[in-house]
Structure 1
Amino acid sequence: MLKRGSVGLKICLLGFLISRPANSEEALSWDQMQAELSERKISLYPVQSFKNLNDSRAWIEAQLADFERRIDPLLQEESDFRFIIRLAHLADEINSLVDQLEIQSIISNDPLQAQLYSKESQYASDWSTENLYRREDLYLRLKEISKKTARFSEEDQLMISTLFQRFEDEQYRSMKDAKAASQSFVVARLLAHLGTLEDEFNRSLSDFDTSLWFSGEELQGLRPEFIESLKYEAGRYEIRAASWHQIKQLMLYADRAHTRRRAQLALLSLGAEVAPFLAKPILQLRAEIVRLDGTRSWAFNQLDGLSIDTEAKLERFLLNSLEANKEAFERERSLALQEKKVQLRKSSAVIYSHDWNYYLERYALRLLEDDPAEIEGHFPIEFVIEKTFEQIEKTFGIRFQEIHDAPVWDPQVRAYLATSVERSEPIGLYYLDLQPRSRKSTDFFHSSLRQRSEDADGHLKLPTGILFGNFEKEIPLRFLRILFHEIGHALHDFSSRLKYQSLSGTNSKEDFLEAFPIFMESWALDWQFLQRISRHPETGRPLSDDQAKRLVSYLQTGQAHELQASVVDALVDFEIHRTANRDKSYEELNEIALDLYRSHFYPLNPQTQPIATSSHFVGYSSLYWVYVMGHEIAELITEVGGTYGESPLSPRLGRTIVGRLLSRGRLLTVDQIRNDFAADLRSQCRNGIEGLSSPKRLKEN
């Protein structure tokens, strides 16, 4: 195990955590902290460190053996409540094991080891299916309990419903053909077949991942440090089509249009080698499942507690979003066009789909006036994190304290204990893995290793989150919004108050999942906050008022285009799953997608296959529109706060968001956000303004 310096302080955890400021020089000691937490029936779930694959395999088998020993005694539990909570926690612990192995595949520096960890994760998942969910005796006990749930709390009822659905699905999938007369059996079998096809699609993407090779001249305009990070062979640099970060860098900064055009074509046709063969069967299976299930669309089949419940409403919601964004989008399009004319020194020009990122960035950079590198130098990553954590404590009452000797997988990884200042208790473990290393992913993202849970004996298991990044010293300006977005996911997990992991934090309903992180992006648009997190590397001075305000203008540029692209992708997803399009061929569906881009965004290269991109079939299947809903809810939260004079950094607004929204996990619905949240904030404001209005698009839907 790697450890970062030994401190070994003797501390009283509760008093220490609450009495020390976030930047206290006295550090937490991992072993002492673990001992103190254990006395209070609180446990952390750290990322495991293994010496080798044999070590990890022994650990996995020990975990599964422990799970197996705990299954049979469940049936001896006389109390229905204790049976449910013990079964739910066992299922959640198995899920945590699966997630732990997925994290191992991410942090591994060896591609072969990463693949093996992914296989181990699948092995653990298959074990749970065979040894837990397909146990008929457990299913029958659960079935009886599900008939009499009125005596249970709202949270327990939702957990019973969630468990019963999973058990029932697996029971039907394991039945013999003699029982195939059951419609539920047929649906379960179709879902199993669908899962196989989706897995095959996902594996095929790795096999057909396109490598683009560029000369140094073709990469003119990109940062030297970015180019140096690329694989270099026979005088050319490799760009992987599956790397969103690499492709985005080309779209923003590559001076040559041909380079940008190649990058976009590769990205939007990433699954073109396999989609014509697998996409149609996947879509047909989804359509048949929807028909048998009696739901109106694949999106509604996939999502639970959807705030939009018909195809017509979903379509209207997306079209209304386009209309609401139209003015801002057209304004940005004009700016990009004018910038292209200036750059090319021509009186007329056309903006193509591979152009808008580049020319909007050129325009935005001119807004800065100063050298972008000079501005960027004000944001050393460690200082930004320190000041952001200080603001999080002020706004949300969540304090982060570094654990200097925590076991980590790389010496540069930092571990923090998150605590609630108001409740005087620890609430989570947070890792920051932000420095580059060999073979590390270039993407910037949050990963939840586990969410909060509390068992029948009062034993509390805290959530664990990891922020992955790839920054040498400073955080690039275009990543500031993403930083706050990804931290927003962690805060969502740490704010939960539910006792079931599968209902807690980011296991929320999907139509709220991206809302709070998108709201957090507004922190990057507060010029005074940008000043507080900035520091010149030599003078120590923050950005001037003028620099900070111009940086906000820079960061705002392109937002309308990003939203427009999300809505168009959502419309593409909607159309390929629309009931009326069930019988259309792959080519016809692709033509519909091309037409949507042509009508609402920019025309694509006719060779592009936009419906081949993986997100329509694996990962966020049919969920592009969730990002659009996230923007709507974030706008509502901002409007509610603004109506009462509260900024996005306001402690009153922040505490209300934590208490009324983030703490409720999967129990929260969008309707509650529209109604209860506004009422609760009104009650906290002395001069609350009656007659609060909601954004038009949400009201209409």
Structure 2
Amino acid sequence: MTSNPFFERSTLPYELPRFAEITVEHYLPAFERGMTEQLAEVAVIATAEEAPTFANTIAALERSGTVLKRVAKVFFNVVSSDSNERIDAIEAEISPRLAAHDDAIHLDPALFDRIDTLYQRRAELGLNPEESWLLERYHLRFVRAGARLNAAQQARLRELNAELATAATEFGQNNLAATNAATLILDTEQELAGLTPAEVSAAAENAETLGQPGKWALSLQNVSNQPILSELADRAVRERMMDASLSRGFGANGDNGALAARMVALRAERAALLGYSDHAAYTVADQTAKTTAAVEEMLSRLVPPAVANAEREAGELTAVMHAAEPDAELRSWDWQFWSEKIRAEQFSVDAEALRPYFELERVLWDGVFHAATQVYGITFAERPELRGYHPEVRVFEVFDADGSGLGLFLGDFFKRPSKRGGAWMNSLVSQSALFGQRPVVVNNLNIVKPPAGEPALLTWDNVRTLFHEFGHALHGLFSNVTYPFFSGTAVPRDFVEFPSQVNEMWMSRPEILANYARHIDTGEPMPAELVERMAAAERFGEGFRTVEYLAAALLDWAWHRRSTADAQADTDVESFEEEALRTAGVAVNAIPPRYRTGYFAHIFSGGYAAGYYSYIWSEVLDADTVQWFEDGVAPIREKGELFRRELLSRGGSLDPLDAFAAFRGRGPEIEPLLTRRGLNRAE
């Protein structure tokens, strides 16, 4: 193929990929040309007669592989956002080939010799701070990729990496298929009691789309506790929904459990090969946590008070439930339903009554974008003439405070069968001065699409997710680094959630909330006393949310703390889960972990293996930062500029905790997090 949209830099604004021209046929040839070109470029670097310098080795590596990086960014976003059988087939073929390609570079002895030579002489090279840090990071990456292993060890490492890449692809594809297959089909409208008319219509439309006319279809999200459980009045339907959710990936509902256990064994073997006791130790050594002991100390500190909070909540739920159903035992499918009853009765907060205040367009423009303008001075304009990778994708140009163009933001907000569950941010073009490129980023969400012609009314959780993911987008948009290695969100996994969690603070900031939370019919702002009741109602569920999260984090940790011998033994996955949660002290009745092994995409098809703890680890930094933003010492706009300059713009170009200290004036403290989550109570 001589003509391919990926072969040359796009001429569209900000080098937006040429989605109008890209077809499925372009991906594989672009991958193949990209890998071939990069290997040739690396061979020139590795075999150069000139002595190694930063420019002819490290900077040259940064310049290599432009076609490969260009196609990979687009393709893997499409894999998650709008897949199909042909995309799946390409992913299955290319993933192990990409793993082998990376190994060919990282295990090239001549190339590593040049990098090592520079590393040993780094103090005398006269490098600036970003260059020096880049050299250190390259050296560490090659060492952690096996550059110092002998030939036999490297051969085995290549096999492990290829098998893991294939397995991760299979897990992700299985998960999407299992989630779609678990869609709950209902035969009568009475079974949807508790849902709003709009939700009932959407369920009917969903069933029609799935080839089930005259029925109603409730699709699942990729979490254990389905949000719709809070509304469904029919307990039997709730139980069916929860069973469908929890059984994904196990037995007749898929084989992801066995596949996950196999991946754990492969990761444990790879960690041992590289000199680590287990995969968790290997992972955290390159994170801000540094040691497994540090992670375990934090998690162990959080578990007892979180469980105590959850048990108090369970007692309240049981009392309310028994008033209506005296003989019923509180189960997982009851928790959200009766929590909403308590919120409605004790706090006078009805989740469905809140939706008219949270219309998508208003939340986006007058909430998310408005907050970014108030804090950072940036503004937005929709560019409908620019195309995304799917008709539902919207393109916005982002302008800096001085009116200059900053980058593009793409929003892909609605759920569809071709999109994996959850929400995430991807970078389609990474900012770097080296290539003169400005950022193009995309946010994906899974908001249930309303019937044609009706507005999208969000839940409070949807609003939170919108603000959260845009925090990742800001991290990418504000990037101001020289080298693409450091661009945007290219930071340690246990730091990457920090900016996104900070951005959630603006959703409930009074002046921001008042600007977007207006009734769709009347335009009236949400009453101040309702805002106060919402805050109180949200605090009621903190025990549940913390235990649900910790259970998933500790399940991930239990899998990846296994030694090679333990991991290679036959494992009953469901029994392992039960024992892991019990040992960790989070086996709370009626609260399943946020993800079970069979659909834990974060750790088995994403990049969070032994890293799901990072959300709470990052929240320590987040809570401390929110306290700083709210201390009243300086105007918010002034603090926004400082936060952007010292942290958001720096990407991975320095130690993340140094970036934190640069704006905060000290290291992070855990007390603000304990207060936020109600974990510092004496009782």
Query: TM-score band, normalised by the shorter chain?
Result: 0.7 to 0.9
| 1:448 aligned residue | 427
Tell me how far 1:493 sits from its aligned partner: 1.0
TM-score of the superposed pair, with normalisation by structure 2:
0.79
Matched, 1:654 2:629: no
Q: Following the alignment from structure 2 to structure 1, what is the Cα–Cα distance between the partners of residues 262 and 420?
A: 32
Tell me how far 1:220 sits from its aligned partner: 3.1
| 1:486 aligned residue | 469
| 1:159 aligned residue | 134
Question: Quick one: which amino acid aligns to residue 64 of structure 2?
Answer: L
Q: Could you give the per-residue CA deviations for residues 65-118 of structure 1, whole angstroms, max 9, x where no partner exists? A: 76577556656696723232231132465234212112234454x723442453
Tell me how far 1:697 sits from its aligned partner: 7.8
Q: Following the alignment from structure 1 to structure 2, what is the Cα–Cα distance between the partners of residues 170 and 59?
A: 25
Tell me how far 1:395 sits from its aligned partner: 0.4
CA shift in 2, pair 1:366/1:481, >3 Å = farther
| 2:380 aligned residue | 400
Q: 250, 272, 282: which one pairs with 1:291?
A: 272
CA shift in 2, pair 1:336/1:432, >3 Å = same
CA shift in 2, pair 1:432/1:47, >3 Å = farther
Query: Which sits farther off after the overlay, 112-121 or 624-633?
Result: 112-121
Tell me how far 1:337 sits from its aligned partner: 3.0
TM-score of the superposed pair, with normalisation by structure 1:
0.78
| 2:550 aligned residue | 567
- Is residue 481–residue 649 contact of structure 2 (8 Å, CA) maintained in 1? yes
Summarize the alignment of residues 43-122 of structure 1 with structure 2, pairs less than 5 Å apart: 43-46=14-17, 48-50=19-21, 52-54=23-25, 74=45, 80-83=53-56, 84-91=58-65, 94-108=68-82, 111-116=84-89, 118-119=91-92, 122=95
CA shift in 2, pair 1:289/1:63, >3 Å = closer
Q: Following the alignment from structure 2 to structure 1, what is the Cα–Cα distance between the partners of residues 193 and 106?
A: 55
Question: Quick one: which amino acid aligns to residue 255 of structure 1?
Answer: A
- Is residue 426–residue 442 contact of structure 2 (8 Å, CA) maintained in 1? yes
Q: Following the alignment from structure 2 to structure 1, what is the Cα–Cα distance between the partners of residues 419 and 159?
A: 38
- Is residue 98–residue 124 contact of structure 1 (8 Å, CA) maintained in 2? no
- Is residue 329–residue 560 contact of structure 1 (8 Å, CA) maintained in 2? yes
Q: Secondary structure at the match of 1:433?
A: strand
| 1:356 aligned residue | 335
Q: Following the alignment from structure 2 to structure 1, what is the Cα–Cα distance between the partners of residues 328 and 130?
A: 58
CA shift in 2, pair 1:463/1:81, >3 Å = farther
Summarize the alignment of residues 184-223 of structure 1 with structure 2, pairs less than 5 Å apart: 186-187=156-157, 189-205=159-175, 210-215=181-186, 216=188, 217-222=190-195, 223=199
- Is residue 272–residue 564 contact of structure 2 (8 Å, CA) maintained in 1? no
Q: Secondary structure at the match of 1:156?
A: helix
CA RMSD of aligned residues (A): 4.2
- Is residue 413–residue 443 contact of structure 2 (8 Å, CA) maintained in 1? no
Q: Secondary structure at the match of 1:496?
A: coil
CA shift in 2, pair 1:654/1:369, >3 Å = same
CA shift in 2, pair 1:245/1:310, >3 Å = closer
Q: 249, 252, 258: which one pairs with 1:271?
A: 249
Question: Quick one: which amino acid aligns to residue 148 of structure 1?
Answer: R
CA shift in 2, pair 1:420/1:338, >3 Å = farther
| 1:530 aligned residue | 513
Q: Could you give the per-residue CA deviations for residues 617-656 of structure 1, whole angstroms, max 9, x where no partner exists? A: 3322222211121222211212333445579xx2233223
Q: Secondary structure at the match of 2:465?
A: helix
Q: Secondary structure at the match of 2:332?
A: coil
Q: Secondary structure at the match of 2:333?
A: coil
Question: Quick one: which amino acid aligns to residue 234 of structure 2?
Answer: R
Q: 476, 481, 500: which one pairs with 2:458?
A: 476
- Is residue 192–residue 233 contact of structure 2 (8 Å, CA) maintained in 1? yes
| 1:179 aligned residue | 151
Tell me how far 1:253 sits from its aligned partner: 2.3
CA shift in 2, pair 1:435/1:653, >3 Å = same
Matched, 1:614 2:593: no
Q: Following the alignment from structure 1 to structure 2, what is the Cα–Cα distance between the partners of residues 311 and 436?
A: 37
Question: Quick one: which amino acid aligns to residue 86 of structure 1?
Answer: A
CA shift in 2, pair 1:528/1:394, >3 Å = closer
Question: Quick one: which amino acid aligns to residue 663 of structure 1?
Answer: S
Q: Following the alignment from structure 1 to structure 2, what is the Cα–Cα distance between the partners of residues 134 and 292?
A: 14
Tell me how far 1:389 sits from its aligned partner: 1.2
Q: Following the alignment from structure 1 to structure 2, what is the Cα–Cα distance between the partners of residues 630 and 320?
A: 16
| 2:396 aligned residue | 416
Matched, 1:459 2:436: yes
CA shift in 2, pair 1:92/1:566, >3 Å = farther
Q: Following the alignment from structure 1 to structure 2, what is the Cα–Cα distance between the partners of residues 446 and 307?
A: 21
- Is residue 381–residue 398 contact of structure 2 (8 Å, CA) maintained in 1? yes
Q: 566, 586, 590: which one pairs with 2:577?
A: 590
Q: Following the alignment from structure 1 to structure 2, what is the Cα–Cα distance between the partners of residues 188 and 56?
A: 24
Q: Could you give the per-residue CA deviations for residues 5-59 of structure 1, whole angstroms, max 9, x where no partner exists? A: xxxxxxxxxxxxxxxxxxxxxxxxxxxx979x8xxxxx43436333643355666
Q: Secondary structure at the match of 1:506?
A: coil
Q: Following the alignment from structure 1 to structure 2, what is the Cα–Cα distance between the partners of residues 277 and 240?
A: 25
Q: 285, 299, 314: which one pairs with 1:333?
A: 314
Question: Quick one: which amino acid aligns to residue 635 of structure 1?
Answer: A
| 1:431 aligned residue | 410
Tell me how far 1:496 sits from its aligned partner: 1.9
- Is residue 239–residue 247 contact of structure 1 (8 Å, CA) maintained in 2? no
Query: Which sits farther off after the overlay, 459-468 or 323-332?
Result: 323-332
| 2:5 aligned residue | none
Q: Secondary structure at the match of 1:306?
A: coil
Q: Following the alignment from structure 2 to structure 1, what is the Cα–Cα distance between the partners of residues 673 and 362?
A: 39
- Is residue 443–residue 470 contact of structure 2 (8 Å, CA) maintained in 1? no
Q: Could you give the per-residue CA deviations for residues 555-607 of structure 1, whole angstroms, max 9, x where no partner exists? A: 5553442222111222222223335795375235233135258755325799x
| 1:547 aligned residue | 530
| 1:224 aligned residue | 200
- Is residue 248–residue 598 contact of structure 2 (8 Å, CA) maintained in 1? yes
| 1:389 aligned residue | 369
| 1:602 aligned residue | 589
Tell me how far 1:490 sits from its aligned partner: 0.3
Question: Quick one: which amino acid aligns to residue 250 of structure 2?
Answer: A
Q: Secondary structure at the match of 1:453?
A: coil
CA shift in 2, pair 1:651/1:245, >3 Å = same
Question: Quick one: which amino acid aligns to residue 155 of structure 1?
Answer: E
- Is residue 260–residue 604 contact of structure 2 (8 Å, CA) maintained in 1? yes
| 2:482 aligned residue | 499
CA shift in 2, pair 1:551/1:645, >3 Å = farther
| 1:125 aligned residue | 98
| 1:629 aligned residue | 617
Task: Mark the runs of 5 or more structure 1 residues left unpaired by the alignment.
Answer: 1-32, 38-42, 682-691
| 1:148 aligned residue | 121
Tell me how far 1:164 sits from its aligned partner: 4.5
Of all paired residues, the percent bearing the same amino acid is 20
- Is residue 477–residue 488 contact of structure 2 (8 Å, CA) maintained in 1? yes
CA shift in 2, pair 1:405/1:119, >3 Å = same
- Is residue 95–residue 125 contact of structure 1 (8 Å, CA) maintained in 2? no
| 1:380 aligned residue | 359
Q: Following the alignment from structure 1 to structure 2, what is the Cα–Cα distance between the partners of residues 282 and 62?
A: 30
Q: Following the alignment from structure 1 to structure 2, what is the Cα–Cα distance between the partners of residues 411 and 575?
A: 42
- Is residue 429–residue 440 contact of structure 2 (8 Å, CA) maintained in 1? yes
| 1:22 aligned residue | none
Q: Could you give the per-residue CA deviations for residues 473-504 of structure 1, whole angstroms, max 9, x where no partner exists? A: 23412311111011111011112222222322
